[in-house]
Structure 1
Amino acid sequence: MNKIRRIMEMLFISVCILCILGGCGIVDDFRSEKDLVDYNSTYGVSDGEYTITLNNTMLEAKAIDDGAGNVYMDVNTANKYYNSRIYWEEDENCVLYATPEGMAQYMPDSTTYTVGMTSAASSIPVVINRNGMLYISLDFIKENTKMDSAVFTAPNRVVTRTNWDDAYMTTVTGKKAVIRYQGGIKSPVFRDLERGEKLYVLDDGAGDEWAQVVTEDGYNGWVENEDLDTPLMTALEEPEFAEPVFTGISKNYKINLAWHGVYSEAANEELGQILTEVPGINTISPRWFYFANTEGDMVTLGSADYVNTAHAAGVEVWAMFSNEFTNFDGEMTNEILSSRSKRQHVLNQLSGWIDEYHLDGINLDFEMIGESGADNYIQFVRELSALCREKQIVFSIDNYTPMYWRHYNHKEEGIFADYIIIMGYDEHHTGSDVAGSVASMNFVRQGIEDMLAMVPKEKVINAIPLYTRVWATDANGVVESFNAGMTEAAGYLESHGVTPVYDENTGQNYGEYTSEVDGRRYQIWLEDQTSLRSRLEMIQEYDLAGVASWSIGWESGPEIWQIIASYFN
């Protein structure tokens, strides 16, 4: 009995010691491996890999190291999430990076690189090749991007931030708080939390026992609410970063541009007459350059005499360069832009024509670019921008309203182009299955505001339509339409005895009739002096860089150009 009593006393003393040690937190040092998150297994991290957390969210991609402690990120992830200027030139298997000093080129596993025509060296390779994938140094990304980053080991993880909006944060108050993989006392633990430690709050639990949080060293998990202070909105401190400055041209007057649809060399001879009928414009953009094939060969309809005539009238010439083949074709365009040699071939042709015709600018009108070609397109924009800077001419880019084409990198365009022109029309177009306005006032306003969120107003020009569409709907609801200029569209209503009325929804004059010939319902939202003045007043309201008009020949007469000029000259 004495022996049993001694055993029971020893067990009781042991339990008491464990309780005391646990109260001091010492027992945590002896937490079983099974109580801890198997980080590498949970997140699929192999040797030499690192998880990547961006703005409190873990990315699917993994970073790697080079075996010497230098961390690299694959170029696709770097381009998509951190810096779109990082461009993988796949046909030459290198990375290009646009700088104010010229295009930098980094070959895999080399410590030498070029910027323009100048050679330079780095302490480690900026780019490395691993199993056919290119990776770029995290140090390079951080040096060239407004971001914070930190690298942690055991387990390996990279924690980054590019967003500094106010964040919901809390402070650890519990003495023995831990962050767990999931909510619940049985869930495995990432690590202990220090009292006073700051945490980002993703979900405070709204009265539940657990809150979802992210630690500043990148653990995303759950903490008991009783161990946390009341979450508060907190201002984050942004890192210091000097954005590179790319030079450009900014006119000291408002742009009043008109596009000239040139479809043959003979059309250039119309310019003298046009200038007498289109008073007040200070810029004209003739459709001159377009692709002949997917090798990058181009067609020119340019004329030095045309430019001389325009200059004599005090008008600049920004020649339009479009991606027309038989029609605008994004896939065929991408066949050219995805190749560095083809892009250079295009630039070489443009360079010669800029000199030959004494151009004042290039107006880039590439349409129907798909998401798969967006990176190649913006790289071409950077390279064409460099050519225009070298030639000291204006570089402008035509864009759809952003709401429909958000994969276009408008912010980057606004850095490399001198002017961004919003094509503020085609709200309803030839492919629309319902009738509607070409450009209602709300549509125009949204396009301007969306673009101004990405591009400074000093660079934004809003383009207005001098045409509308005539819509015909049959008894089965099938819709067809065709373009009509101002005079032609108004003539349809007049010939059917229809007096247009003002439509509050679109801010335009509207008329409709049923044809006695085909029985279809015809609807027309007019482009006229009413819609014209509304758009011009909107451009003034937002203090934009000017106006562009599509296109010469659609207007009802010289009075249209006089009205436009009265707002800008």
Structure 2
Amino acid sequence: MNVPLGMASRKRRKRSPRLYMVMILFLLLLAFIPICWWVVTQIPSGERVAPYEGRKQVIVFQGKPYEKPFAQENEQVLLPFDFIKEHLDPHIFWDEPSNSIIVTTKDKVLRMESEKVVAYLNRTPVDLSVPVKEIDGVRFVPFSPLEKLYPVTVRVTESGMLIVEQDGYSVQSGEVIADEDQPELMRLGPSIKQPIVAEQPAKAKVDILGERDNWYQVETSDGIVGYLPKESVRLQEIRKVTLPQTPEQAKAAPIKPLEGKVNLTWEQVSSRNPNLANIPAMPGLNVISPTWFELKDEQGTLSNKADPAYVEWAHKRGYQVWGLVSNGFNPDWTQAVLKDFRLREKLVGQILNYADLYNLDGINLDFENVYLEDKQNLVQFVRELTPYLHEQGLIVSMDVTIKSTSERWSLFYDRPALSQVVDYMIVMTYDEHAAASPEAGSVASLPWVEEGLRGVLAEIPNDKLILGMPYYTRLWKEEKQSDGTIKVSSKALTMETAEAWMKERNLKAQPDEQSGQLFVSYTDPQDGATYKMWLEEAGSIQKRVELVHKYALAGVASWRRGYEKSGIWETVQETLNKSGKP
């Protein structure tokens, strides 16, 4: 049956109101969702959480919580060893053989053995209320014996937190703005949806650690860290931690270096001391360093060749005497001594006794040929020795090489760490071509010296650095072998011996632009060997001393007395006394 078109249209229009209602409800829902979302986001969180996820005995170091807790025993605070090393003293040392904590300062050495209630401060017994101990695998150190050594303040709050701050720490302070009967809520993060971590009453003091999204990150006086709206905090003055010096710290005056530039020479003493009557005048010299003390076994025993008559002779001429202490260049003995506090302490004791016995003015440390693995133990030894020497008023210097990739010649020196401890460092800028070199060359060409000097100046302050220079040369011999190869050998000559060798052969040295020195070459008509020398004389020494002014160094040191030619001391003195660059 056919339905008229008009009737079909009317039937479809009867279903339209339903559709309209659905559309209206949908539109209302779309409008209601943002309103609901806005309402939900504006409702502050009422959740409350414990500070630091409920952890107890939290250390708060200058606004930052530390992952390990502190400990308390007999009302004494104990700090984790790792915390002290990370934040207070990177040089605190754990000595495994003696099971001891060792702390060194400019003039103090403190040793605390685990589970022992007696410590030793500069070898003097000190009673402890609580010993060093291990708790749940964490090594703890009592703070009481450290408080006079470290410029640090610690405070246990009512909530059981430990606030630790160093001298000089500064932070913006603020005061909480709140109703008297309604404290301000401090939240875990910068949002009202974050849980509440604490309440702060009106006028409560807080430290402002940072800001984010109109919130301040703050630390309360109770050691709790959280967030407050910026409008609820009134900024106040900058708070700075200023701690008074303890009597021990006040007495730790730095050792004064020599007035003017150092002019040092080493006195090589192999078996017996020189005849003092045969030593000529040395104008300008102010320090002499005899090679008197040397490690002779793995038990830390020092051999002693010191002579009180030599010291008396030197003092009458105005020279300071810095006794040289060598490791004998034996890496195995050195390792055995450096790795054990008890042997290091034995070595320290001998040095102190000899320094006092012979009325020395300083100690020069010459440790060479050391295993790379003993690098930090060498630093620790110097840190343990230097405070005692400073306590006796002695100057401490140490010899180092220039930088290179050689482990046992250069890499084992931690120059930045060592330079923080000693008063002077002497860079031995010689033996560019050592005795066993496969090719002939200068002992210390001027470009090589200056390049090496710049390298160590990147690690050592210039006002602590002394330039070492050679008073000797090497006579090189090149012999052609039957197989066509060249055999190279050498022997060291003093300035006078080198001059006499040339005079015998009627030779005259010529300037060598590449080395900055005088150079001579000679072929012997009898054996066909070629001889070569790069000479040390007044001109080369003057150029070396001029580097002291160019780089504002502390002075010069020469190896060794007796190798120089007459007149060299005047050259050094005149050049060293110049002011400014040459």
**Which of 272, 284, 287 is the equivalent residue of 2:291?**
287
Residue identity matched to 1:331: D
Distance 1:497 1:74, change over 3 A: same
SS at match of 1:119: strand
Cα distance, 1:275 vs. partner? Answer: 3.2
CA distance in structure 1 between the partners assigned to 2:148 and 2:215 by the alignment: 28
Distance 1:436 1:17, change over 3 A: farther
Residue identity matched to 1:247: P
Contact 1:434 1:479 survives alignment (8 Å): yes
- 1:85 aligned onto 2:91: yes
- 1:96 aligned onto 2:105: no
- 1:443 aligned onto 2:456: no
Residue range with higher mean Cα deviation, 420-429 or 110-119: 110-119
**Which of 292, 306, 311 is the equivalent residue of 1:302?**
306
CA distance in structure 1 between the partners assigned to 2:433 and 2:293 by the alignment: 27
CA distance in structure 2 between the partners assigned to 1:443 and 1:144 by the alignment: 43
Distance 1:497 1:108, change over 3 A: same
Cα distance, 1:417 vs. partner? Answer: 2.7
Contact 2:465 2:555 survives alignment (8 Å): yes
Match of 2:318 in 1: 314
Distance 1:283 1:64, change over 3 A: same
Distance 1:66 1:112, change over 3 A: farther
Contact 1:63 1:73 survives alignment (8 Å): no
**Which of 543, 550, 555 is the equivalent residue of 1:534?**
543
CA distance in structure 1 between the partners assigned to 2:29 and 2:486 by the alignment: 88
Contact 1:246 1:415 survives alignment (8 Å): no
CA distance in structure 1 between the partners assigned to 2:473 and 2:391 by the alignment: 39
- 1:247 aligned onto 2:247: no
Contact 2:107 2:388 survives alignment (8 Å): no
Cα distance, 1:332 vs. partner? Answer: 1.4
| Deviations 1:472-530, CA, capped at 9 Å, x for gaps | 556546654443333444556663856422224x3222344556566665543322222
| TM-score normalised per structure 1 | 0.64
Distance 1:106 1:15, change over 3 A: farther
Instruction: Give 1:108-257 correspondences, 5 Å limit.
Output: 108=114, 114-116=120-122, 117=124, 119=126, 128-129=133-134, 134=139, 195=213, 247-257=254-264
| Deviations 1:426-471, CA, capped at 9 Å, x for gaps | 2332454554432232333344444445544443322211113344
Match of 2:177 in 1: none
Contact 1:63 1:71 survives alignment (8 Å): no
**Which of 93, 109, 112 is the equivalent residue of 1:106?**
112
Unaligned 5+ residue runs, structure 1?
A: 27-46, 51-61, 148-174, 177-192, 199-216, 218-237
Contact 1:63 1:74 survives alignment (8 Å): no
Match of 1:261 in 2: 268
Residue identity matched to 2:431: D
| TM-score normalised per structure 2 | 0.63
Residue identity matched to 1:334: Q
Cα distance, 1:335 vs. partner? Answer: 0.9
Unaligned 5+ residue runs, structure 2?
A: 1-17, 44-54, 59-65, 153-189, 192-210, 217-224, 226-239, 578-582
Contact 2:118 2:125 survives alignment (8 Å): no
Aligned sequence identity (%): 28
Cα distance, 1:270 vs. partner? Answer: 1.8
Contact 1:126 1:140 survives alignment (8 Å): no
| Deviations 1:514-556, CA, capped at 9 Å, x for gaps | 565666655433222221011111113333332211012222x
Distance 1:9 1:112, change over 3 A: farther
SS at match of 2:299: coil
| Deviations 1:1-49, CA, capped at 9 Å, x for gaps | 99xx999999999998999899x799xxxxxxxxxxxxxxxxxxxx99x
Match of 1:346 in 2: 347
Residue identity matched to 1:96: I
Distance 1:100 1:286, change over 3 A: closer
**Which of 527, 534, 544 is the equivalent residue of 2:553?**
544
CA distance in structure 1 between the partners assigned to 2:490 and 2:215 by the alignment: 64
CA distance in structure 1 between the partners assigned to 2:525 and 2:87 by the alignment: 59
Match of 1:270 in 2: 275
SS at match of 1:558: coil
**Which of 512, 516, 526 is the equivalent residue of 1:502?**
512
CA distance in structure 1 between the partners assigned to 2:151 and 2:416 by the alignment: 15
Cα distance, 1:305 vs. partner? Answer: 1.7
